[in-house]
Amino acid sequence: MQFKKILVGVDFTDITDQILQSAIYIAKIFNSEIKLVHVIENTIFPVALDDLEPLVDPEEFKKIVETVERLTEEAGKKLEEIASQINEREGIKTSYIVKTGDIAEEILEICEQGNFDLVVIGAHKNALTESILLGNEAEKIVNKARSSVLVVKGKSVDNIKKLLVGYDFLPNSIEALETAKEIAKKVGAEIDIIHADTEEGFAHFAHIYETVFQKKISLLKELKEKLEKEDSIKVDFEIIKAEPAVAILEAIKDFNPDMVVVGKRQRKDIKRFFLGTIAMKVVKNSPVPVLIVRKR
């Protein structure tokens, strides 16, 4: 997986720097271009301006339009300054856009129309509990994006030494591992592969369980040897007897990776590709950044 075009959601909150640092780091790895986007929420005006005009006093409508124009101009100036700094200091081609409307839908629309390979967004820390929460808009983007999504949580993605990959031998996890491999090769990181084993509980399959389990070990050993020999990447793997989301979250605590990489299953019967419950649980509960990989 090559991330050549990266769309970055900028909300000008306390996590903006972490989001930008992460996007820049990934862009340098893949020689990408960046587009910054800020969306002015439509909570200021519950319907589109054209639809709102007949419903309000002309003077009030004028004030609403002026407010939206002022906010758009202010956001544009901020993004222009950030884009200019990234261009000059980092040598990364960077552009920007300001939109008005529903945050998630606008970002998803820009992503699809622009054929972006990766969307970078952030999760906010709850000031009372210190937990890191995936907000409603971020959850929508993670769930519906047709591209890969990097959710910046807890810390920036700016010095990857260890990657943790959820792996179940299916195409989506194979793609996730390939992406982790590309990153690891560029930055000299090691990879921990986690496989969740859930077959043991099926008593009526007990006679073949051990054979299947040993086959998994054999395949993971072959994968480890191949990555170490052909790509010079330090690799380890572990099979955890638990539900997949639980296994990955346990492994995060044990291995303390700089980023988790999981795959996104494809559902071709719908317009957008919804995230499976396993990956969503990981994204919501992980204390570290999570990269959800989907091949466009």
Residue 163 has pLDDT above 60, yes or no: yes
Residue 32 belongs to a domain:
yes
Q: pTM here?
A: 0.88
- Domain match, 209 and 231 both: yes
What CATH code is carried by the domain that includes residue 187? 3.40.50.620
Question: Are 209 and 264 members of one domain?
Answer: yes
In the block, which residue shows the tokens 């769930």? Answer: 143
Give the DSSP letter of residue 274: P
CA atoms within 13 A on the CB side of 95: 8
d(CA 21, CA 31): 15
**Low-confidence winner among 12-16, 77-81, 174-178, 264-268 (lowest mean pLDDT):** 264-268
The single-letter code of the amino acid at 164 is L
Q: Are 148 and 34 in contact (CB under 8 A)?
A: no
116 lies in the same domain as 164: no
* Cα distances (angstroms) measured from residue 41 to each of 11, 45, 61, 104, 137: 10, 9, 17, 10, 11
> Is 296 within a domain?
no
Instruction: Say what percent of the chain tops pLDDT 90.
Output: 63
183 burial class (0-12, 13-18, 19+ CB within 10 angstroms)?
buried
The answer to whether residues 212 and 202 touch, using CB atoms and an 8 Å cutoff, is no
184 shares a domain with 153: no
pLDDT digit string, tens, across residues 33-87: 999 999 988 655 554 555 555 555 667 767 777 888 889 999 999 999 999 999 9
- In terms of pLDDT, which residue wins out, 44 or 116? 116
Q: What is the mean pLDDT of the chain?
A: 86
149 and 69 co-located in one domain: yes
pLDDT the model gives residue 273: 41
What average pLDDT does this structure show over 197-212? 69
Q: Which of 209, 153, 122, 179 is nearest to 2 (CA)?
A: 179
Q: What is the pLDDT of residue 122?
A: 93
pLDDT at 268: 52
Please say which residue of 131, 158, 185 terminates a domain.
158
Q: Of 102, 133, 158, which closes a domain?
A: 158
Residue-number span of the structural domain to which 170 is assigned: 159-290
Same domain, 82 and 171: no
Determine which of 34-38, 140-144, 271-275 has the lowest per-residue pLDDT on average: 271-275
In a domain, 295, yes or no: no
* Pair 92, 84: CB distance under 8 Å: no
Q: E strands within 204-257? A: 235-240
Strand arrangement, sheet containing 5-9: 94-101, 33-41, 5-9, 118-122, 148-152, 290-293, 259-263, 162-166, 190-196, 235-240
> What pLDDT is recorded for position 129?
38
CA distances to 95, 136, 144, 166, 283 from 133, rounded to whole Å, are: 28, 9, 18, 21, 10
Note whether 32 and 4 are within 8 A (CB).
yes
pLDDT tens digits for 215-271? Answer: 999 999 999 999 999 999 999 999 999 999 999 999 999 999 999 999 986 555 444
